[in-house]
Amino acid sequence: MPMHATFAPFRLPLLALALSACGSPPQETALDRPPANQDERMAWWREARFGMFLHWGLYAIPAGKWQAETGYGEWIRDSARIPRSIYDEFRPHWNPTQFDADAWARMAKAAGMKYVVITSKHHDGFCLWNSAHTNWDVGSTPSRRDILRELADACRRHGIVFCTYHSIMDWHHPDYLPRRPWEKDRTTDGADFANFEQYLHAQVTELVTRYRPSVMWFDGEWENTWNHERGLRLFTLCRSLAPEMIVNNRVDVHRGGMAGFSNASEAVGDFATPEQEIPATGLPGVDWESCMTMNSHWGWNAADKKWKSTTELVRNLIDIASKGGNYLLNIGPRADGTFPPESVDRLREIGEWMALASDSIHGTTASVFDATPWGRCTVKHGGATTKLYLHVFDYQPGMRLDLTGLQNPVRRVEVLNARGSVAPAASEPGVAGVCYTLTVERPDPIATVVEIEIDGTPDVVRLPRIVAECEQFVTGVEVTVTQTSKRAVTTYTLDGTPPTATSPRAEGSIRLTNSCTLRTASFDADRQVTAVAERAFTKVEPLPPVKALASKQGLRCERFAVDWKSIPEDRGSLVPQRTHIVGSVGPVTGTGEQVAFIYRGFLRVPTDELYRFVLSSDDGSKLWIDGQLVVDNDGLHGAIEKQGAIGLQKGLHSIEVVWFNQTGGAELGLKWASPGRTFAAIGESELAH
């Protein structure tokens, strides 16, 4: 989860800010003074919930097509392997005569969006402003229009918060490293990444002082030349230039792949950044934003017709808000400066839904219920009362809206965006809470919204949570049952019967030594106030050791040149470039791109037990023990951890780890743990070959 560093505020003089804007006054930010705390800094962003992402640059000119292929986007220079000298020829063609910043801002506002994030510079290095530090920008094109200035001013006029995306990765700058592996025409002689870092800082300073974005949205941090120290320096620069400005977690290197949540205590950044996915559950106390496309590409691709429906887009927004996150929905403008008609249509239709139901999105927090089978719930706190917004996705006449566990008195119930009525109904037998039946004449096809106003802060007895390291065990497993409500008493059973108020109380640790299903529920006096939660636990027989002639420590590691997107089943024909002995699985930093390692040998197990393994990698990896797949972390992705478990008897067990890196950053690590222990690296003395 992201951590928030604190730095001494420093503001540039207002005169310097005004002069840097080349005659235009700087845009008012959402908080035009140093914030008193992190909550104050994030307040406008948390209220917004919905923003527009804009991926626009030279890559819009080929519109996704290069030679016979039509599947490219903003990565076209790399994915189509276009030499820099050829890609440079797009610059004289940059002339977006139809660009209307006010029209863009108006469409964002009409759709219910509160902020706009535009690509000041994407990975190709081309800048959408006239930079003093390069001529690879709009100032050196026939147009010469300052895109950022026009959009920043338009956003201010229409009440939209202006923000910028800025790529750390830069395929054009002569000092940026590493090069693309296919770039045979560009030598690295004389390239100095420290010089590039100075350039990056100079441009960020220019952006912040000239345009005063309310968010700096960094990206491209996964290359092996970027590290935590560089990320911390850049984050510190942003804080010093504008203490009120929000910075995403991609300024640092600890983002957990596309899942987007930082996975190290030292990580900096104000919010997490899931990409093209919505977390299964929100994380209380963590700010996050899912960025997603309308079709399959970020940049304009004329051949991409896989447009998501308006229903899917709005339900994504509702789902994200119900989990406490923000939705950053992307538009890829065309080269002439206009939005694709499909995007315009969807923005209009989203706006039509938001015109009646935006109160259920803006300023809301995550749901307080464990299950909402009818759709999603958002919450708006208001002091003496709280509003619950029920988003009903697929209406059925007379359907039930169960609010299991809700203890608050209800003041008012209203259907916001449809003609209908809500009537009280009996709750689920044996479970406390509030329930209504919903009758609607013309349900909203996207989501019918019911507003329920209750007294005070929501008091919901949540479903008990069953916590254990693993659902399998060899000798035994410790299980705890948690309940957030202080007045509820939680009980459990192990014999398959439902728990009652007189069943054993779930207090402290419960040790299981035989296979069973643990069932638990909470009670207020003799009244059941939650449904029954359950979890099955299985005792397994540990695998016997192998009889191996392995007298030397470490594993045998083979390196291969590959072009994988996933680990193939058949690897027998691979010819290693090099074979050596290693004392651990990983690290692999600096090993290059389009490479694979295969580790083979034996793991020395100290006692009969269930062992858990965590395999972290960028890109894909897999772990086999005694021929059984234990952890599957395959595929193209950033740094991600996956876990698995297996029962093993004392002795030697065969182990194989396969890892590959396609492009960008490289990471690999393997840890293990026995029950009750924390994960630790596997030492050389525990490995044999």
What are the pLDDT digits (tens) for 296-318? 999 999 999 999 999 999 999 99
Give the pLDDT band of residue 525 (cuts 50, 70, 90): confident
Residues above pLDDT 70, as percent of the chain: 95
Record the pTM.
Answer: 0.86
HSE-CB at 566 with a 13 A cutoff on CA atoms is 6
Can you give the pLDDT at residue 11? Answer: 32
Mean pLDDT of 618-627: 95
Can you give the pLDDT at residue 82? Answer: 97
Give the pLDDT band of residue 32 (cuts 50, 70, 90): low
**What's the rounded Cα separation, in Å, for the pair 122 and 120?**
7
**What's the rounded Cα separation, in Å, for the pair 292 and 289?**
10
The token pair at 580 is 């050596």
Can you give the pLDDT at residue 27? Answer: 45
Mean pLDDT of the residues in the chain: 92
Select from 278, 292, 252 the least CA-distant residue to 117.
292
Give the pLDDT band of residue 262 (cuts 50, 70, 90): confident
Query: For the CA atoms of the chain, what is the radius of gyration?
Result: 28
pLDDT, tens digit, 9 for 90 and up, residues 135-189: 999 999 999 999 999 999 999 999 999 999 999 999 999 999 999 888 988 999 9
Which range (21-35, 613-627, 642-656, 661-675) has the least confidence? Answer: 21-35
**What's the rounded Cα separation, in Å, for the pair 659 and 557?**
11
**What's the rounded Cα separation, in Å, for the pair 305 and 172?**
30
Reply yes or no on whether the pLDDT at 1 is more than 70. Answer: no
Which range (205-219, 257-271, 443-457, 564-578) has the least confidence? Answer: 257-271
Residues above pLDDT 90, as percent of the chain: 82
Reply yes or no on whether the pLDDT at 9 is more than 60. Answer: no
- Which residues 6+ apart lie within 8 Å of 569 measured at CB? none
Can you give the pLDDT at residue 258? Answer: 79
Q: What is the DSSP string of 545-610?
A: PP-----SBSEEEEEEE---SS--S--TT---SEEEEESSS---TT--SSEEEEEEEEEEE-SSEE
Reply yes or no on whether the pLDDT at 15 is more than 70. Answer: no
- Which residues 6+ apart lie within 8 Å of 616 measured at CB? 633, 639, 640, 641, 642, 667, 668, 669, 670
Mean pLDDT of 183-212: 96
Select from 114, 29, 28 the least CA-distant residue to 363.
114
Reply yes or no on whether the pLDDT at 577 is more than 50. Answer: yes
Mean pLDDT of 106-119: 98
Which range (250-254, 293-297, 365-369, 663-667) has the least confidence? Answer: 663-667
pLDDT, tens digit, 9 for 90 and up, residues 376-422: 999 999 889 999 999 999 999 999 999 988 999 999 999 999 998 99
Can you give the pLDDT at residue 6? Answer: 30
The token pair at 321 is 């808000």
Q: What SS3 class is residue 535?
A: strand
Give the pLDDT band of residue 663 (cuts 50, 70, 90): confident
Mean pLDDT of 310-334: 98
Can you give the pLDDT at residue 245? Answer: 97
Q: Which amino acid is at 516?
A: C
What is the CB neighbour count within 10 angstroms for residue 536? 10
Reply yes or no on whether the pLDDT at 13 is more than 60. Answer: no
Select from 350, 360, 488 the least CA-distant residue to 431.
488
Give the pLDDT band of residue 340 (cuts 50, 70, 90): very high
**What's the rounded Cα separation, in Å, for the pair 125 and 120?**
9
The token pair at 32 is 């035009």
The token pair at 349 is 């239709």
Give the pLDDT band of residue 224 (cuts 50, 70, 90): confident
Select from 217, 195, 221, 196 the least CA-distant residue to 208.
217
Can you give the pLDDT at residue 33? Answer: 75
Mean pLDDT of 204-226: 95
Can you give the pLDDT at residue 23? Answer: 38
